Amino acid sequence: EVQLVESGGGVVRPGGSLRLSCAASGFNFDDYGMNWVRQAPGKGLQWVSGINWNGDNTVYTDSVQGRFTISRDNAKNSLYLQMNSLRTEDTAFYYCTRGIGPPPPSNSPGHCFGPWGQGILVTVSS
């Protein structure tokens, strides 16, 4: 069974940093692109960032470009999101999700996303 488990969330002050992790199991991790998607409480989905199978290609939504860094460790079957200079508007549930799309050696994070982790809450507040 495919499982994605996020960790590392919590409460942080504006301007602070946080690192999210996603532990993957049940599939060949290095065959897939991976992505982070967030959802502010009571709001819709917003794609945050994606990475291809080996980490050579990373993409970000404009509002986090330069502040967030996505990375992966295929030896540890893990995905990460380093979040710096956090703002109150970054408060959200953050979901780790597997990309579905062209197999390696594609540079795509995936055409679409599934399955998804259970989500982890990040709260940015003073």
Partner 1 sequence: QSVLTQPPSVSAAPGQKVTISCSGSRSNIDNNYISWYQQLPGTAPKLLIYDNNKRPSGIPDRFSGSKSGTAATLGITGLQTGDEAEYYCGAWDSSRSASYVFGTGTKVTVL
> Residue 41, SS3?
coil
Site for partner 1 in 56-75 (CB under 8 A): 59-62, 65
Nearer Cβ to partner 1 (79/117): 117
How far, in Å, CA of 55 to CA of 60, rounded?
Answer: 13
Query: What is the distance between the alpha carbons of residues 24 and 3, in angstroms, rounded to a whole number?
Result: 6
Q: Are strands 120-124 and 10-12 parallel, antiparallel or unpaired?
A: parallel
117 part of the interface to partner 1, by CB under 8 A: yes
Contact set for partner 1, span 2-41 (CB under 8 A): 35, 37
Contact set with partner 1 (CB under 8 A): 35, 37, 44-47, 50, 59-62, 65, 95, 97, 100, 109, 111-119
